Structure 1
Amino acid sequence: MAVPPRKALTGLVAATFTPMTAKGDVNLSVIGPYVDYLVLKQGIHNIFVNGTTGEGMSLSVDERKALAEEWCRQGKGKVDHVIVHVGCLSLRESQELARHAAGIGADGIAVISPSFFKPPSTGALLQFLQEVASAAPHVPFYYYHLPDVTGVKICAQAVLQGAQELIPSFQGLKFSSRDLLDFGQCVHSSPRSWQMLYGVDEQLLSALVLGAHGAVGSTYNYMGSVVNGMLAAFEKGDVAQARKIQGLTWL
């Protein structure tokens, strides 16, 4: 049975950094002010925790749990979505983090492909994603597509086609690749209720033209207010202004 869609995950999503102390410990005390900064200064109302920007794959399971808990606690009532990345090289650890995210009230979970022993086929990748999703069956699930880092060159469109049947909680995609053809095909062939989020900040305008519903990225931590201006210009049909902002921001 499919998970009923919650509030749509659209607009900008800040892929948050993980604050650390000088000794290399996770610094949870910074997260409350960090949330306020994103909301009040950058106009960001969605966050993506323990992803690439947050160095989640380099943290222990306990550190990732502590961070997810604090982001959910500090974000409650202030942000619309806290999406927790739970992907690991280990299926069991991914499932453990998925269950934990469900227990702390995360608004969604995301999973990247394993990248050491790589899935050799679309079916193998889908089986991994399905088994992680099954650990938190009532939490919206997003596939995190990052082929340049994982080395898994399976087209995202093929994953999405299989996910529709295998993962009832599937709600969308974080597409972090420069392959705009693949992204456009994902948008075109997916259910309208799914959220297609683009993850290469400097190509965002191109992805918007192809139908992206929003974007997840590191630069939105400190340039969110500027990029929100680009989104507003694009929505009004002022492509010239959107191009100007794109150029001033990244080119």
Structure 2
Amino acid sequence: MSTMAAVNDKKPKGLAAATFTPLTTDGEINLSLIGPYVDYLTQKQGVKQIFVNGTAGEGMSLTVAERKMLAEEWCKKAKGKMDYVIVHVGCLSFRDSQELARHAVEIEADAIAAIAPFFLKPNSADALRKFLQEVASAAPTLPFYYYHIPSITGVNVSVPDVLEDIGSLIPSFSGVKFSSADLMEFGLCFSHSPPHWTFLFGVDEQLLSGLAMGAQGAVGSTYNYMGSQMNKLIAAFENNNLEEARRIQFKMQDLIQYAKTLGFDLGVNKQLMSELSGLSLGPPRLPVMPCPPEHGRSIAQKFHSLFPEASVLMQHVMGNHL
């Protein structure tokens, strides 16, 4: 089997939850929640793809050993229940990234992804391509995705420039997780790329726009608790029912806008997931500060007012897990 045949054998499609990392009150990894978390996503949200150790998962705040432990447990618990597991392996050091990439092969992840290094930043598309090439070379049989999130990394190198001739440098290159609101840049990426690449849109509150521009799937933190609703949006879009798709997207935007009034950072988002799922995911890791519980409850109440059809289900789930 050729390398290209191996890396193109399986593709993500639809929603992928950017998973949060369960921590104890002491800030240690809590692996015991991974199994229930997988069951919650698959059974209650209809989400069967995950993106592990990314921004929502606080991957850059974890040690390499912790990231390995988490990735292995996610892959183990997802086996037979989920369709696709992408492990984020990006680090400031490409050596650490290579170690995580090799580990992803060992634990049978479906794909890997990497952000741009953001302390000593690449100053050109060529520099970023070479960094990504070194990371991907450690796991040549796994599909490789560039994770573009300039609002976090501060790396604003043009993605179309990064993609230029990248397939010859990285035979396993399979697409982009595009977490930017720049729809023109996203369109240029999609329209000038080969059909076997997959573009995963990463701005949850603009999912419908991303689908209209050609996204084949989406990765986001809100799909942890809004997956069932956003799956309805995708179905409406695919059935050319734009009125229904807009209705769902606008409600989701109302929720995000309300959450922003309470400081919608990672700590708040993680607390909201705990409130809506009934899974006690614990605090974020420093330097992110914990969310006041009342803020999480307030946003959860807003969610139920916007999506009353989900309220009974959510309350049932919380009763099962609390």
TM-score band (shorter)? over 0.9
Deviation at 1:161, TM superposition (A): 1.8
Tell me the SS of whatever aligns to 1:48.
strand
- Confirm or deny that 1:243 pairs with 2:246: yes
Partner of 1:156: 159
- The aligned counterpart of 1:178 is 181
Pick from 226, 230, 234 the counterpart of residue 233 of structure 2.
230
Residue 107 of structure 1 is aligned with which of 102, 106, 110? Answer: 110
Shift of 1:6: 2.3
Q: Please name the residue that 2:56 is paired with.
A: 53
Equivalent in the alignment of 1:169: 172
- For residues 234 and 53 of structure 1, the distance between their equivalents in structure 2, rounded to whole angstroms, comes to 26
- Report the equivalent of 1:22: 25
**Corresponding position of 1:75:** 78
Q: Is the 8 A contact 1:178 1:200 kept in 2?
A: yes
For 1:106, the aligned partner's letter is A
Q: Helix, strand or coil for the counterpart of 1:171?
A: strand
2-side partners of 1:161 and 1:46: how far apart? 28
SS of residue matched to 1:14 = strand
Can you list the C-alpha shifts for 1:156-208, whole angstroms capped at 9, x where unaligned? 11112231211000111100001000001111111111110000100110111
Q: CA contact under 8 A between 1:126 and 1:162: conserved in structure 2?
A: no
Aligned equivalents of 1:155 and 1:43: distance in 2? 34
Amino acid at match of 1:40: Q
Equivalent-residue separation in structure 1 for 2:9 and 2:219 (angstroms): 18
Residues 67-91 of structure 1, C-alpha deviations (whole Å, 9 max, x = no match) = 0000000000100111000000011
Higher helix proportion, which one? 2
Q: Which has the larger radius of gyration?
A: 2
What residue identity is the alignment partner of 1:120? N
SS in 1 for 2:164: helix
* Structure 2 residue corresponding to 1:119, chosen from 106, 122, 128: 122
**Greater RCO between the two (CA within 8 Å, min separation 6)?**
1
Give a deviation string over 1:46-95, Cα, whole Å, max 9, x none. 00000000000000000000000000000001001110000000111000
1:39 aligned partner: 42
Question: Are the counterparts in 2 of residues 72 and 105 from structure 1 also a CA contact under 8 Å?
Answer: yes
Determine the structure 1 residue equivalent to 2:15. Answer: 12
Q: Could you say what secondary structure the match of 1:187 adopts?
A: helix
Instruction: State how many pairs are aligned.
Output: 251
8 Å contact 1:148–1:177 — kept in the other structure? Answer: yes
Task: List gaps (5 residues or longer) in structure 1.
Answer: none
Match of 1:133 in 2: 136
Cα shift at 1:4:
3.8
Distance, in Å, in 1 between the alignment partners of 2:179 and 2:208 is: 14
Cα deviation, residue 7, structure 1: 2.4
Q: Is the 8 A contact 1:146 1:175 kept in 2?
A: yes
For 1:84-103, list aligned pairs within 5 A: 84-103=87-106
Matched, 1:198 2:189: no
Task: Give the deviation of 1:148 after TM superposition.
Answer: 1.2
1:61 touches 1:97 (CA, 8 Å); kept in 2? yes
Does the 8 A contact of 2:50 with 2:85 survive in 1? yes
The CA distance in 1 between the partners of 2:7 and 2:180, in whole Å, is 28
